[in-house]
Chains A and B, each alone.
Chain A
Amino acid sequence: MAKDLTAALQALTEEARGQTTRADKTLPAVKVATAIPERSGASGPLAGAASGSIASPLSEADFGNREFHEVGWKTTDGLLTLPAIKKMILTDANGAIVVFNFAAPPA
């Protein structure tokens, strides 16, 4: 105990003098991370995917299934009319049917 008290007293005395027993240290250099090689992965169906999520990519099986609005998309000068898509049917990566319904162009 006496030794502890003595040591404690000395520490307080040195601190009052602005002295310290702490030795400065530096952190070690950060190790350079090793490169991660390219790789591909695969995942099975996530639980609950069929409840609404669309799995990319979407693919169109048949161009002929596209539907167009009867009234096309007019150029600003009214001279040209482009076909305005009304409906596209796509299949997502899970094989689920995804339907796109497009708005009619302004008359």
Chain B
Amino acid sequence: MIFAGAKSGHPWHGVWSGTTGKITTPGGGDIDCPGVPPKARLQNLPIHIDTAHAGDCYMVAVPGMPAVTTTPSEAAAGQTWLNYGLISGARNRLMGIELGAGDWIYVAPDKTRWRASFSAAPLALATTTSTTVSVTLKRFGEFPQTVTGSDEQVFANMLIDLALDMPSAAQSIFPLTGDVAARAYLAIEDIRPDGARAVIAVQSELAVESTCPLTSRVLFSAKEIRLSGTPPAASIEIVTVAATSALQAFEINNRWQKFRGISWYKDIDNVNQVYVGEEASANAGGVAAYMGPLFPQIFVGIYGGENWGDGWPTRAAGGEIQFFVSSARFDYKVSTVIGFRYAAEDSSLEKIVQVASWNASYAATITPVAADEHEYSATGSLVGTGSLKLSRVSVASGALVSDLATHAMSINAIWSAAAPGTSVWSGSYSLNGEATTVSYSAALEAGSDAPSIPLGVVASAMEKHGSGVLDLRATASSEFVYPLRYTNALYGVCRRTVHPGVSRAMSFFGVYGKIGAEGSAVSASGTTSYPVFCSEHPVSGQILRSTSGVSFV
């Protein structure tokens, strides 16, 4: 602290590095980090560490403070004078003091400052969808000679509904029980610069990769704490920003599949025959199984043959019937809210939405062979395009504010098969301009069904398994993109490839802050080095990305 001359207070700002432990100042020099450094971890998780709050950086601003400049001589001394404060890291460091993960500064209408401390009872989603929270306001930054009135106001043990209006649904990915639900907790999403608003969210973490410290997460719901007035006569409201049911939207523009029924049978002379039925439209049950409205995934996949019990041709003396997908169209849009933050422009609340859309068509011809087993030869093709967007959407109006990023997707593949024989898929897909060539073959036994298409892009972080246990979808061959919250300001996506024979480091696409953006994709250089530590300066918009802890202070 400096208390001399026209400027006073804490001028030790810059970029804190977890590697050096120093603060690199705008003047270019490194200074020791006064007090405690920003903390990387919000909590210790059972499998992995949580880095999603390491680079949090909130501006705390008292309205009307005059602008200030830093002279060259002051900058040379490592000083940076600001007319606002910065709260940094997972445990909210301010001026070298750790306020705590649930604490921030509330600036009352009379410009007095109050340390707001939020706490919540541990969630027990298996037994209750409500919890009690407390918020304490303690006078902050006023030395005794200037204090008048009360020093504290407590809002104790307020019972709030967590707005979990969907977890009981059988298909829900928001479980009330299981490991993910057991790890669920309430944590701060973002804080408005005057501290009068703070978004808190019910959430739980999922590991992106077993060795990667960054976590994806399940966002269950969001609430907002609203403070007004001056303690001890301040008021508080805790309102629902988004219930669980508002976190996802599933829009089907076109959905159809056509099946061709084929029958292998022996006629009355015991001669092998085949019968090709008419194409029939069907409700795309197979598609829905992959893309139910509660599963925020885009998976380019088609179920194979499906045994069908009816439809025997006249005079058939027994045999087999299969229905093959002869054509299909996948035309969907899945919107998933992945976070909430206050806009830099006007402090309005906005939600960050991942919008995955896909429009692909599949066509196939099946040529049955009259034989003792239901034999056939077949060819097919799958062609389509899609996109993965990150968008800002106003919470108040629901209107799109702007798209942050668009990652294009496309697929072009062919299929050939002979039963008995081999089923071969070959082709390529691309994501964000990077093409992946894949080839997949599987033996087809006589009488076997056509295999599922093993190509796809899964735009999600989770899949439900069993009774309420969420895990990353890691079966078969797929391309995964995970929506990520890096900090209170920064969002992005991560790509993970699990195709057999395709070796690719995890790729972290651009990060998009309230002001700035760092649009390049950064690949992990090794299993112990992931570029997942980020921070955005709340005023300049400068963005940091690093493989070790980093934060503006």
A27 at interface (Cβ–Cβ under 8 A)?
Answer: no
B85 at interface (Cβ–Cβ under 8 A)?
Answer: yes
Decide: A75 and B84 in contact? CB cutoff 8 A: no
Interface string of B83-105 (1 = CB under 8 A from A): 11100000000110000000001
Decide: B143 and A77 in contact? CB cutoff 8 A: no
**What would 15 A/B residue contacts be, using CB atoms closer than 8 Å?**
A72-B146, A76-B9, A76-B68, A77-B82, A77-B85, A78-B61, A78-B62, A78-B83, A79-B9, A79-B62, A79-B140, A80-B142, A82-B3, A83-B146, A84-B146
Interface residues of A, Cβ cutoff 8 Å to B = 68, 70-84, 106
B41 at interface (Cβ–Cβ under 8 A)?
Answer: no
For A81, what are the chain B residues with a Cβ–Cβ distance below 8 Å?
A: 141-143, 146
B65 at interface (Cβ–Cβ under 8 A)?
Answer: yes
Interface string of B59-86 (1 = CB under 8 A from A): 0111011101000000000000111110
Decide: B146 and A80 in contact? CB cutoff 8 A: no
Decide: A75 and B143 in contact? CB cutoff 8 A: no
Decide: A75 and B8 in contact? CB cutoff 8 A: yes
Which among A70, A71, A77, A83 has the greatest number of chain B C-beta atoms within 10 A? A77
For A106, what are the chain B residues with a Cβ–Cβ distance below 8 Å?
A: 66
For A77, what are the chain B residues with a Cβ–Cβ distance below 8 Å?
A: 9-10, 62, 65, 82-85
B144 at interface (Cβ–Cβ under 8 A)?
Answer: yes
CA of A68 to CA of B115, assembled, Å: 25
Decide: B7 and A79 in contact? CB cutoff 8 A: no
Decide: B82 and A72 in contact? CB cutoff 8 A: no
For A72, what are the chain B residues with a Cβ–Cβ distance below 8 Å?
A: 142-143, 145-146
B contact residues, total (Cβ < 8 Å): 30
B111 at interface (Cβ–Cβ under 8 A)?
Answer: yes
Beyond A77-B10, A80-B141, A81-B141, 16 extra complex contacts between A and B, CB < 8 Å: A68-B146, A72-B142, A72-B145, A75-B9, A76-B8, A76-B81, A76-B83, A77-B85, A78-B64, A78-B84, A79-B9, A79-B94, A80-B9, A81-B143, A82-B143, A83-B146
CA of A82 to CA of B145, assembled, Å: 8
B residues 10-65 touching A (CB-CB < 8 Å)? 10-11, 60-62, 64-65
B113 at interface (Cβ–Cβ under 8 A)?
Answer: yes
For A74, what are the chain B residues with a Cβ–Cβ distance below 8 Å?
A: 65
Residue of B nearest to A72 (CB): B146
Residue of B nearest to A107 (CB): B64
For A71, what are the chain B residues with a Cβ–Cβ distance below 8 Å?
A: 146
CA of A106 to CA of B82, assembled, Å: 17
CA of A72 to CA of B3, assembled, Å: 13
Interface string of B515-553 (1 = CB under 8 A from A): 000000000000000000000000000000000000000
Residue of A nearest to B68 (CB): A76
Decide: A78 and B111 in contact? CB cutoff 8 A: yes
For B62, what are the chain A residues with a Cβ–Cβ distance below 8 Å?
A: 77-79
